[in-house]
Structure 1
Amino acid sequence: MSSTARKRYESLLFQYETTNKTDFRYGAIKEYPKTVYKPRASHSVRGRPLYKHIHTMAEWKGARPSFDLMITPKEIVRTNPKVVQKPFSKPIDEEREEVQKSRPRLVMTPAVSMDDIDDPQARNILCGDMYKSQMRREYVPLNVASQDIKAPLPGLPAPANPITLPKLQPPLVSPEWRMESVSWDQKQLRTYSDHTRDFWLGQKVPRCRACEETAIIDKHRKMIKQVKK
């Protein structure tokens, strides 16, 4: 069978394909991307500020230069500032006890052999008392209870010099100058009164336009009656 005839027969066959099966495949279920662990940088790295170029202020892309890149040894002593001096600690003398027991005896005032003292604390006290200078002793802090120590209080202050102020009296005003105030005060009512009522009763009665028109009409009618008689 030729290839042309084979393609023709295959086009006539029904492959159980439908529009819903072949065309609309946008809702296919796909595998969700898996979570991949990414190690985070340390706190010191995350807390570093942005390193920028000193002239262009652009962010530095390469590796950061070390902090002590421009630090050079001192000009005279030529010491390396990167090498920090180690703290001094007094070495432990392991052969001290054996040397004290085997060496010749040394007797000091008050006629005590320093090497025969068994208690090391007593020996240190005796050595410190004999060899320590006065200035060195003053440097040592005193471990003395300060409860019974009181600071010297100052003496009594100088006696006070009190001053007396004269009694404040209002200035005297002559009765002639107070006549208007006295006359007004005497007219005031000392009993209960309704201020709103007294105010309106003291006012003049306003003119009534209707009353005036009625009075004019009555007067005109009386004149007409008198003329007819």
Structure 2
Amino acid sequence: MAAPDHRPPTAVPWVAMYHSVGDCSEDPYRITVTPERLEKQLRWLRRRGLRGVSVGELLAARGRGEGRGLVGLTFDDGYADFLTDALPVLRRNGCTATLFVLPGRFGGDNAWDPLGPRKPLLTADGVRRAADEGVEIGSHGLTHVDLTAADDLALKTETVESRAVLAELLGAAPDGFCYPYGTIDRRAVDAVREAGYAYACAIDPGPLNGPHALPRLHVGQNDDALRLYLKYRLHRLRRRPVEGLR
């Protein structure tokens, strides 16, 4: 039996949360940035000696003590514009990312957003193409259900079945999960861990901690250089160290 790990928790990783990349003229939920704005944000990182990577790569590097200079980039929901508008910008700036997709909605749209506008989601083939380009694919649940309000069957379906579908599609089960709407509680965290995911991203996990309750920072169209600097600095000051990450 291994001895308990009494090392102190490490500083919270900086993980940026994006959604759609494209036209943001109609954007009631503030989920869209233009390719031009994303370009400027990634260039801001690079000028400061930072590089955006997938969450899996970030956590692995931190585990080796080599995470300095890396920040996580995540894109939620699996919008079709990831391939056309986000991926080329990531490539130009030497960055990678994690794309959290919804296997139960491949080829559909963001029907869970009642105010619209409707945005197409990647097909299964599009998700494979993203993976072939070196993008880490993670699960965002099967159909974008708030796990804190799901019954036991729905909770298991959203976590276990979504992972199984992605494993069949990509040839390997994903390590990462992203909680729909960012909402979590202990029951949801336990279900995600039991489903076999190595880590999970929330937004503000509150009192919950550990690799299955990683906080993230929303980055939007209005985040220019000054706002990014403040978010980058304040994120580390506002968050408790994350237990279970080395």
Which structure has more strand as a fraction of its residues?
2
Higher relative contact order (CA 8 A, sep 6+): 2
TM class by smaller structure: under 0.3
Structure with greater Cα Rg: 1
TM-score normalised over the length of structure 2:
0.12
